[in-house]
Amino acid sequence: MRKLLIAPSLLAADFGNLQRDVEMVNESEADWHHIDVMDGVFVPNISYGMPVVKAIQKSATKPLDVHLMIVNPDRYIEEFANLGASILTVHYEACTHLHRTLQAIKAHGMKAGVALNPHTNILLLEDTIKDIDIVLIMSVNPGFGGQSFIENTYAKVKALKALITKKNASTLIEIDGGVTTENAQQLVDSGADILVAGSFVFKSSNPTATIKALKG
């Protein structure tokens, strides 16, 4: 049995106390730091860019799980490798030549992730699944933290898990958006390996305890 990984999303952190919040994650039972980069084009919001990622990297002691919600992500692969990203996830919907993008991410020494919007069918990954280290299933429409979980996600995770098994791939499944202790167990039972949680962790009264609770 694989152990469930937890990746708190720093999008919900207090940016005035970013170092403190990164250190909280360092000292918690969390596994990765989830970093959401939005360009205001692929999604209707702008989050933060390279200088902030660099500041996070300075204090972070766990792998940086970078989720790019941007158009033409190929332009920045090298830059994120230099910033210390361990996992670089691009959106299926933003990549015209996904196979080439995945090879480029791996050539720069990072794990390659592909994110799917809620409307994107997992079968579109049938021909690339063996090249993908992580599939990130969006359980909300990307762009904002604090949205409600889309219930169809469970069925989608199960279908993806079946595809991974059928293709004998070692791809991990990550869930992002509206994750709480209410849906965590059902997500794990459906096949999830990694849970991202933003607001549920950072808006709670005791984020360290909330991470522990998610870990189960």
| Active site members | 36, 176
Chain contacts with ligand DX5 (rule: CB under 6 A): 9, 11-12, 34, 36, 67, 140, 142-143, 145-147, 176-179, 196-200
| 198 interface partner picked from ligand DX5, Zn ion, none, CB below 5 to 8 A per type | ligand DX5
Of residues 21 and 176, the one with the C-beta less far from Zn ion: 176
What is the spatial distance between Cα 57 and Cα 86, in angstroms, rounded to a whole number? Answer: 11
| 143 interface partner picked from ligand DX5, Zn ion, none, CB below 5 to 8 A per type | ligand DX5
What is the spatial distance between Cα 142 and Cα 41, in angstroms, rounded to a whole number? Answer: 12
Of residues 76 and 200, the one with the C-beta less far from ligand DX5: 200
Contact 161, 173 (CB under 8 A): yes
Place of tokens 């299933």: 137
Which two structure tokens, joined as six digits, stand for 177? Answer: 């958006």
| 145 interface partner picked from ligand DX5, Zn ion, none, CB below 5 to 8 A per type | ligand DX5
Of residues 86 and 167, the one with the C-beta less far from Zn ion: 86
CB of 211 to Zn ion, least distance (A): 16
Closest chain position to Zn ion (CB): 67
Residue 78: phi and psi, rounded to 5, are -65, -40
CB of 9 to Zn ion, least distance (A): 6
| 66 interface partner picked from ligand DX5, Zn ion, none, CB below 5 to 8 A per type | none
Smallest CA-to-CA distance from 112 within 185, 95, 201 is with 95
Of residues 55 and 169, the one with the C-beta less far from ligand DX5: 55
Chain contacts with Zn ion (rule: CB under 5 A): 36, 67, 176
What is the spatial distance between Cα 129 and Cα 137, in angstroms, rounded to a whole number? Answer: 14
Smallest CA-to-CA distance from 129 within 163, 176, 155, 91 is with 163
Closest chain position to ligand DX5 (CB): 198
CB of 150 to Zn ion, least distance (A): 14
Sheet with 33-38: strands ordered across: 5-8, 194-197, 172-176, 134-138, 111-116, 85-91, 64-69, 33-38
CB of 176 to ligand DX5, least distance (A): 5
